[in-house]
Structure 1
């Protein structure tokens, strides 16, 4: 009888664990960039696996000089919505210069 109760309790705990949604994974840290001469911007603790159109960037004025101070790899795209063939992958801690232009980013 005790074994059956233990099995039922373990199965119930497993079902509850599977039913509760897990928290979203985040790239802990800051992703910094510029949107104009002397105008810094950034995203703190961005969600992983979600494309971010970087705040402050536009079609006529892309963001530039990204610095990946997160714990995840960042892939920056020239186009919005993480679209297009022009992208660059940045490991954690990587800084790139003013020549790299981008409008969106996604974190691993």
Structure 2
């Protein structure tokens, strides 16, 4: 599943923010996670520091909820389209559309669907 890459996590975070789904406390956790410094790596060079930082902030929030409020974590994951028997197809489509916008490529029909 391609949801582990920072670009996909960035799309997921933007979805949560656009839907105004997160509590103020969760937004504080995002800000905290976003400020974690990292050394330069291939990932930050490939995706860019801003995308990598937003992805890190989502990972921080998920870890925080895993430790403090599993029920809320399950709600958040359901909001993102993850549930028993759910398909991540719509997330992959959203990611591809986002990447096409960034690269200016409007057609990408030759690539197999992300899983």
Q: TM-score, normalised by structure 2?
A: 0.18
More helix by share: 2
Q: TM-score, normalised by structure 1?
A: 0.18
More strand by share: 1
- Structure number with the bigger relative contact order (C-alpha 8 A, sep ≥ 6) is 2
